[in-house]
């Protein structure tokens, strides 16, 4: 069987954490650490530090915004556009993280529009999807993640899929210490890939990276990374710590 053409991908979502001093320490361990050169590494600092981090990190590590708005400019106080993110040399944006959905009330429709606009503006995107605990317990996981994925996929043109990495992050596993088991994560990744196959194309299903997020640690990352359809991780808490390097190197 052909091995999949999907480079291992590890994102670090710093969320609302850090100041220049603490970020300096993260940059130090990323610079000093022996990062597996075959892993694509992307760090997402708070918006205000994007340019500083881009200028300070080695160019082999990419930088992402944690969010962006759906239009290039205008009367939208407090927002940041993909054009501005690109203007400071940053190439990626996380879109629709569960905290954006559940704390800030972002809808599938808004997230879809953001994905479409960010891709049009030339950013690469990491759209996030995932079910809540009550949805899993009531047997609705597939329905929820397929609906979230459809709202995203409807806004992606065929030639833009190469700039998309889907993050599957079950909400019950984010920041809780309850990681999905490798089998649980693999099961959903297979279903998401099949959805892409049936609703977009076999080529997109084969080539698009689907990464897992939710309490990934240096201890559990290797076992998760052995699953065929887990193409990397989106890491929250541990991305602020030197252990992040071990997650980057989970496939070594």
Active site residues: 97, 169
Q: Is 72 a residue that touches ligand PGA (CB under 6 A)?
A: no
CA distance 200 to 211: 18
Q: Give the residue, chosen from 96, 112, 232, 237, that forms a contact with ligand PGA under the rule CB under 6 A.
A: 237
Q: Draw the binding track, 182-221, toward ligand PGA (x: CB under 6 A; -: no contact).
A: -------------------------------xxxx-----
Backbone angles phi, psi at 207, to 5 degrees: -95, -20
CA distance 109 to 70: 11
CA distance 122 to 155: 14
Question: Which of the ranges 19-27, 149-157, 197-205, 230-238 carries the binding residues for ligand PGA, by CB under 6 A?
Answer: 230-238
Q: Draw the binding track, 158-187, toward ligand PGA (x: CB under 6 A; -: no contact).
A: -----------x----xx------------
Question: Which of the ranges 18-26, 118-126, 143-151, 234-242 carries the binding residues for ligand PGA, by CB under 6 A?
Answer: 234-242
Give, as ranges, the residues between 114 and 153 that touch ligand PGA (CB under 6 A).
Answer: none
From the CB of 40, what's the least distance to ligand PGA, in Å? 16
Sort strands 165-168 and 9-13 into parallel, antiparallel or unpaired: unpaired
Q: Could you tell me which residues are beta bridge partners of residue 210?
A: 166
The site for ligand PGA, by CB under 6 A, has a size of 12
Residue 115 burial by CB count (10 A; 0-12/13-18/19+): exposed, middle or buried?
Answer: buried
CA distance 212 to 170: 9
Which parts of this chain interact with ligand PGA (CB under 6 A)? 13, 169, 174-175, 213-216, 234-237
């Amino acid at each position: 069987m052909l091995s999949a053409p999907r480079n291992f991908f590890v994102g670090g979502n710093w969320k609302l954490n850090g100041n220049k001093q603490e970020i300096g320490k993260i940059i130090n361990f990323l610079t000093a650490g022996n990062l597996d050169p075959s892993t694509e590494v992307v760090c997402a600092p708070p918006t205000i530090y994007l340019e500083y981090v881009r200028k300070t990190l080695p160019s082999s590590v990419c930088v992402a915004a944690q969010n962006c708005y759906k239009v290039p400019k205008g009367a939208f106080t407090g927002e940041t556009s993909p054009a501005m993110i690109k203007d400071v040399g940053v190439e990626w944006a996380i879109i629709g993280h569960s905290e954006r959905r559940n704390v800030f009330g972002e809808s599938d429709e808004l997230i879809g529009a953001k994905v479409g606009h960010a891709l049009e503006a030339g950013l690469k995107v990491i759209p996030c999807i995932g079910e809540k605990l009550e949805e899993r317990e009531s047997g609705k996981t597939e329905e929820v993640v397929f609906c979230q994925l459809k709202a995203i996929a409807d806004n992606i043109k065929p030639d833009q899929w190469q700039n998309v990495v889907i993050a599957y992050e079950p909400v019950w596993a984010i920041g809780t210490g309850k990681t999905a088991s490798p089998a649980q994560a693999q099961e959903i990744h297979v279903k998401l890939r099949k959805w892409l196959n049936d609703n977009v194309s076999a080529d997109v299903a084969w080539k698009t990276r689907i990464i897992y997020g939710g309490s990934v640690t240096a201890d559990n990352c290797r076992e998760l990374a052995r699953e065929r359809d887990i193409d990397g991780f989106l890491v929250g808490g541990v991305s602020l710590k030197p252990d992040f390097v071990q997650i980057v190197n989970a496939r070594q």
